[in-house]
Amino acid sequence: MIHINCVWIGGDKRVSTFCTKRFSENDIWLAREIKKKRKKFYFVRSKFEDDVENEIKKKKNKGKPKKDLESILKQKVYEDCKKNLEEFECEDNIFVIDSYEKGSYDFERFETHLIHDALNISDGKHLAITSCLTVMTISTINEMKNVLEKRIPKIALSAAFALRIKDTDVTILKEEMEFYKQQFNLDEISLRRDAEVSNITERLSEIEESMKHIEKESNEMEELNEIDNLIPFLPLINIRKTYKASKIWLQKALERITEKAVDVNLTMMEGLAHD
């Protein structure tokens, strides 16, 4: 018996839902309603490990390697979903995941799809979705970094053309850095929430201190000092130099935050594993 947990996450362009049951007519009805609204969707089969453990306990499977049973069950899920969702052409958006082992099965592929599609919709939608993710895989973090890098020329240009009033250009850059931290759940609120969920509250002070160190180093980078020291009444020179320095500063800031995101998420995975 294949139990289906599906996910329909609402969005401007893509939708998904969680339900703990076998594939039913209600699921087909919901998929059709989503299609009527011209939205795409994911179908996610969660708690897969439960079915694997149940299969291992059956006498007929005594002695069979766990990997073989996983492969057989996973294929059954795919076939069942493809058969029931054939009219929707969503084969690439069917995922099998385990609710506890974040590195297992299709979790990494699903998270990458989710983050990428959310970023393509809007910054607000992406922030709303990523704020719900306690742990991100390394490939997901790198995917997010690639997408955020595409913002750099636009933000650098905004800083270059900003009026030199109360360090407007520098403020634009620092606000973008804060945006990077939010996207990777490294802002103060997200860190505290995720640390509690991941059972690593004892490491929170250390992580927060490392984030302050990154911010301090970024504020002391020569590119930021160069922008601060530009002569206000030479606008053409300011624009060119500010744009160049801003791009370099944003790239370095993103690199440091990405590295920290990898470290923090690995720490959270360890915390979840010892839950």
pLDDT score, position 3: 34
> Residue 150 pLDDT more than 80?
yes
Poorest-pLDDT segment among 118-122, 123-127, 241-245:
123-127
Per the document, the length of the chain is 275
> For the residues 39-56, what does the mean pLDDT come to?
77
Residue tagged 């997408």 (tokens): 147
d(CA 183, CA 91): 28
Give the predicted TM-score (pTM) of the model.
0.62
Tens digit of each residue's pLDDT (9 = 90 or more) over 226-268: 887 775 556 777 788 889 999 999 999 999 999 999 998 888 8
3-state secondary structure of 45: strand
- Residue (of 79, 108, 77, 109) closest to 93 by Cα position: 109
pLDDT score, position 1: 28
**Confidence band (pLDDT; 50, 70, 90) for 213?**
very high
pLDDT score, position 19: 41
